[in-house]
Structure 1
Amino acid sequence: MLDARGIYPVSDFQRNVKHFIKHLQESHKPIVLTVNGKASASVQDAGLKM
């Protein structure tokens, strides 16, 4: 289930990509990106270990 705390504007994602990637890698939980308040995309850690 998606947590409401995992919803962010795409503009925040663009400004803080490194922070979001680190968070995704640590939490393994998807986030939802919004445009004008509407869900537009989801991003999830690939989970690949090399």
Structure 2
Amino acid sequence: MKLIETESLEANLEKGLGESHRLFKGFYSKLRLRTEGVCGIASLAIAEHL
């Protein structure tokens, strides 16, 4: 049986985190466009804690 080399766990984690960051950034920019004033401040505070 021949073993196939795969990417390291660290590389996979970085790739996954980068993808999550990209998706969240896209979602947050859309959310921010729809919110103003107090709602915008509240959404920013929530985003910082996620």
Q: Say yes or no: TM over 0.5.
A: no
Tell me which structure has the larger Cα radius of gyration.
2
Structure number having the greater helix percentage? 2
Structure number having the greater strand percentage? 1
TM-score, structure 1 normalization: 0.30
TM-score, structure 2 normalization: 0.30
Choose between structure 1 and 2 for higher RCO, CA contacts under 8 A separated by at least 6 residues: 1
